[in-house]
Amino acid sequence: MRIISAPGELTELISSFKKNNQTIGFVPTMGALHDGHLSLIHQSLKENDLTVVSIFVNPLQFDNASDLEKYPRVIDEDIKMLGENHVDVVFVPEEQTFYPQKPIISIDFGVLSERLEGKFRKGHFEGVGVVISKFLHLVDPDRVYFGLKDLQQYLLIKRMCTDLQFQCKVIGVNTVREESGLALSSRNRRLSSEGLKVAAVINRGLNFIKKGIIEQSDLQRLLKEVNKIYESEKGFELEYLEVVNPADLSSIDNYSHLSELAICVAGYVEGVRLIDNLYLRLK
Ligand code: AMP
């Protein structure tokens, strides 16, 4: 496994792969890797000749200095895990060489970044857009992999790649969960064992709505009941719970006309911000 931190060294290596007509799969991450990341990596290993994984905690996408500072960083553990999983290249840029000057450019996703996460994390997607564009220029992959746990990120990047004609395929990978239903996340490392139990309520709420929708219950009633479930879980502080049309992420209060929807939630446990969603195909 090659471990590279200089962008120039990465592009040289990538051109040598391209000369040999090898296909490249790319998995961008912020590290503190877990089985969710591994599921993206395994899919890339299966579908491409070579797999490149990046580890970079991108300061541009954090609207909160303390969240950035507390983001878990365990680079030695990560590199060991990637080696054991037969990844070909790990790109771990230093902030100063990756951003020799703070980019003044920013990607505006219009109304799509004003909804859900974008409403609560100002500038988050603008920063994600810049870092992913930069990575896509450097790695020039055939396929890039994103987790559907971050549904809005996946949809926005897919749209960005269409609008800007990036040549890669954007592939969404299903969410990997704990037995309790809690979505795996690097942020879970910051939770106590009690906090992990509390956080399982997030997915219980989502499944309650899913079951209700399958039984064709009224959406407003379901949302009220789940809000009550969330309120009664001491230690969980809900930020938002919304059912949206995945086409434009607009909030819906009735699903009879829709062929798909997503139930999206964000909240805090022990001061740690967690998100999750369930996607449902209806027809
Ligand atoms: P992160 O390191 O949190 O930026 O995540 C890197 C990639 O892994 C993103 O595309 C995430 O959506 C994806 N990911 C994170 N957690 C999970 C999970 N539990 N299941 C599947 N993919 C995930």
- pLDDT digit string, tens, across residues 229-256: 999 999 999 999 999 999 999 999 999 9
Q: CB neighbours of 274 closer than 8 A, spacing ≥ 6?
A: 183, 185, 187, 188, 199, 202, 266, 267, 268
Tell me what pLDDT residue 43 has: 98
For a pocket test of ligand 1, which of 150, 185, 264 has the largest count of ligand atoms closer than 8 A to its C-beta?
A: 150
- For the record, the structure tokens of 196 come out as 């992990």
pLDDT tens digits, one per residue of 94-134 = 999 999 999 999 999 999 999 999 999 999 999 999 999 99
Please compute the mean of the pLDDT values over residues 44-54 and round it to a whole number: 98
Structure-token pair, residue 39: 């599921």
Residue 283: band (very low, low, confident or very high) from pLDDT cuts 50, 70, 90: confident
Separation in Å, CA 75 to CA 5, 55, 69, 78: 13, 8, 15, 5
139 in Cβ contact with 24 (< 8 Å): yes
Q: What is the pLDDT of residue 93?
A: 98
Ligand 1 near 146 CB (within 6 A): yes
Give 182's Cβ-side CA count (13 Å radius).
20
With 0-12 / 13-18 / 19 or more C-beta atoms within 10 angstroms meaning exposed / middle / buried, residue 263 is buried
How high is the mean pLDDT of the chain?
97
- Rounded CA-CA distance 183/188 in Å is 9
Task: For residue 184, give the ligand 1 atom closest to its CA.
Answer: 19
Give pairs for 244-248: CB < 8 Å, separation 24+: 244/115, 244/116, 246/151, 246/155, 246/279, 248/111, 248/112
The share of the chain scoring above pLDDT 70, in percent, equals 100
pLDDT mean over 11-17: 98
Would you say the CB of residue 149 lies under 6 angstroms from ligand 1?
A: yes
- 221 C-alpha vs ligand 1 centroid, how far in Å? 31
- Whether 135 is in the pocket of ligand 1, judged by its Cβ within 6 Å, is no
Is residue 34 among the annotated active site residues? no
What percent of the chain shows pLDDT beyond 90? 100
Sketch out the chain's domains with CATH numbers: 2-173 (3.40.50.620), 186-281 (3.30.1300.10)
